[in-house]
Chain A
Amino acid sequence: MKAYILKKLLLLVPMLFGITFITFTFTKALPGDPVYTLVGERTSPEIIEKVRARIGEDKGILHQYFGYISLLLKGEMGRSYYTNRDVMDDLIQKFPNTLRLAAGAMIIATPFGVLLGFICAIKKNSASDKIISGLSLTGLSVPVFWSGLVLMLLFSLKLNLLPPSGTGNIRYLILPSITLALPALATLVRVTRVSVLDVLNMPFIRTAKSKGIRKTHLNSIHILKNALIPVITVFGLEFGSYLNGAVLTETIFGWDGIGRFAMEGIIKRDYPVIMGCILAGTIIFVMINLLVDIFYHVIDPRVRVHGTDR
């Protein structure tokens, strides 16, 4: 187990090098010059050269790349071309906001998703199953940025219940969390439904039923506990969709997180910001997957037996 975790963590190092190298060379090959976007086209050549030297654009690509790597090794990520703020500081400052948003979405999506999926499975092909399944497919088909706008229109602009945008206390968090939760909730309903249906077909459920076990006991201990294993895997994979959704949701609701930070960096061609966000995103993603892996080992004895063989 420890060896497995270590291996995964060590794999992260070449992966990050690869990702920095690819994004770095490609972003440099881009049409468009960050110096011109920074100072405008009509600035005098001396100032342009000065700015170019300040952001290090006057040197060759390889030189810049190794400069960036040595900066990373020192634990820094450079400064934004625009705000001249340290990218690492900004990321550290904005990360908790994105985490709050993702946590909010998870708190909404997980219990409802599992519960609704469970209801669908035990009442398979009933009207409630069909309605919930249909709604969950619809939830997967509605674009996040649009459902966010519709929620904003209803709850903040028409009903005046919640603030339409900004970063702040829980009142600001509700709408973006619901928006971000919708597709995840829909996926969880579908996965839980299939997973519970699988468990229902197992022989041990028939045995349990014939022993006359109370229904609540059967549902909670026998069915749900076994059905949750694949659900947890999906729960981890869904984190990717939270990162996806965060870019869109944060942009709509003006939430000051990593998603919006990345988007602004991309639009302004602010390379240190783009690179920093890509690196942070990769690290977070790999870490979450690793946590899910570990958790999987903890809850499912079958995986644990296999795991020791590795």
Chain B
Amino acid sequence: MGLTGKLASGILVFIFALSVFSSFISPHEPDMINLDRIKQPPSTEHFLGTDNKGRDIFSRVLYGGKISISISVLAAMLSMVLGLLIGMVSGYFGGKLDTAMMSAVDLVLAFPALLLAIGVSVLFPPGIYTVMIALAAAGWASFARLIRGHVMALRESAFIESARAVGCSTTRILFVHLLPQCVPLAFIMAGLKLGGYILTEAALSFLGLGAQPPTATWGSMISANRVFINSAPWMVLPPGIMIAITALCFNLLGDDLREIFDRVKIEP
């Protein structure tokens, strides 16, 4: 791993730690309204100032990070599990099932991710779980395509043939023999994609399809405070900077991961 990769993972660990321990670090209650202190510029009392309801921006950024990052990571895991299942079944059995599943994959991949996620998220009432489902619905396809190729290459290999010869059931071959071969690849892919998940999550919350007020997420903070950008820019700038830094670190890490990825991947 190069220096930038190490630096990026260091910053990510720091951001994760800030979000995990947000309840200990944050100096104020994130949702506490204090109408005596509205729209205050940054000070020693409020590091990043307060918003139009007197809530502490610093605390809200910390809590918001917790939600934004957890949603993105969980959604990536959900896409990964879906992609693993579909990809393995599709690659192992082949035939018409494979053709049908891969056309679905093509359709999903052809569609712009954010539009797809918006389309899915209107189907459910807005909230944290809706965002996760929407992100996973837009994200599973690239995992499925990757795992399918990997399984197709492994299907004919000696150890699978031996497993079949000693009479292993199909479920056993899939989950005991093939799955462990696919999981590392899927994890690397998830790491590559996390920057994108962070950005799409932010966009969905910005559009009001995510966690509902008063709960803070980075995207919804920008959306709620954007009318005050001229009079109180400190309300809008910090959450955006946090999104950018987190996504940038994931992308930098992704560049390093891609090299490992190219070594692990087997083409059919």
Given A31-B125, A157-B229, A240-B111, do A278 and B119 touch, yes or no (CB 8 Å)?
yes
CB contact between B240 and one of A26, A150, A244, A282 (< 8 Å): that residue: A150
Is A105 close to B, CB under 8 A?
A: no
Given A146-B222, A149-B236, A153-B230, do A243 and B112 touch, yes or no (CB 8 Å)?
yes
- Pick the interface stretch among A70-78, A89-97, A245-253: A245-253
Q: Nearest chain-A residue to B202 (Cβ)? A: A143
Given A143-B202, A266-B122, do A247 and B252 touch, yes or no (CB 8 Å)?
no
- Check if A149 sits within 8 Å of B208, measured CB to CB: no
- Check if B199 sits within 8 Å of A141, measured CB to CB: yes
CB contact between A247 and one of B199, B207, B229, B248 (< 8 Å): that residue: B207
Is B176 close to A, CB under 8 A?
A: no
Q: Please give the number of chain B residues whose Cβ is less than 8 angstroms from any Cβ of chain A in the complex.
A: 41
Chain B residues whose C-beta falls within 8 Å of the C-beta of A266 in the assembled complex: 118, 122, 209
CB contact between A285 and one of B111, B207, B229, B251 (< 8 Å): that residue: B111
Chain A residues whose C-beta falls within 8 Å of the C-beta of B237 in the assembled complex: 150
Is B129 close to A, CB under 8 A?
A: no
What is the minimal beta-carbon distance from B227 to any residue of chain A, in angstroms?
10
- Flag A123-142 by CB within 8 Å of B: 1 or 0 each: 00000000000000110111
Chain A residues whose C-beta falls within 8 Å of the C-beta of B222 in the assembled complex: 143, 145-146, 149
- Check if A281 sits within 8 Å of B240, measured CB to CB: no
Is B139 close to A, CB under 8 A?
A: no
Q: Nearest chain-B residue to A262 (Cβ)? A: B118
- Check if A141 sits within 8 Å of B248, measured CB to CB: yes
CB contact between B229 and one of A15, A138, A149, A262 (< 8 Å): that residue: A149
- Check if B248 sits within 8 Å of A137, measured CB to CB: yes
Bound-complex Cα distance A145 to B201 (A): 12
Q: Nearest chain-A residue to B206 (Cβ)? A: A145
Is A144 close to B, CB under 8 A?
A: yes
CB contact between A244 and one of B110, B112, B243, B248 (< 8 Å): that residue: B112
Chain A residues whose C-beta falls within 8 Å of the C-beta of B195 in the assembled complex: 140-141
- Check if B115 sits within 8 Å of A244, measured CB to CB: yes
Is B141 close to A, CB under 8 A?
A: no
What is the minimal beta-carbon distance from A117 to any residue of chain B, in angstroms?
16
Bound-complex Cα distance A15 to B255 (A): 35
What is the minimal beta-carbon distance from B225 to any residue of chain A, in angstroms?
9
9 A-B pairs besides A30-B122, A146-B222 with CB distance below 8 A are A27-B122, A30-B123, A137-B251, A145-B223, A149-B240, A243-B115, A247-B207, A248-B207, A251-B207
List 28 A-B residue pairs with CB atoms under 8 Å apart, sorted by A's residue number.
A15-B107, A26-B123, A29-B123, A30-B122, A30-B123, A137-B252, A141-B244, A141-B248, A142-B240, A142-B243, A142-B247, A143-B206, A143-B240, A145-B219, A146-B239, A149-B229, A149-B236, A152-B229, A153-B229, A240-B111, A243-B115, A247-B118, A251-B207, A252-B226, A278-B119, A281-B115, A285-B110, A289-B110
- Tell me the B residues contacting A by CB distance below 8 Å: 107, 110-115, 118-119, 122-125, 195, 199, 202-203, 206-209, 219, 222-223, 226, 229-230, 233, 236-237, 239-240, 243-245, 247-248, 250-252, 255
For the complex of A and B, 7 pairs with smallest distance between CB atoms: A146-B240, A240-B112, A141-B247, A141-B248, A244-B114, A157-B230, A142-B244
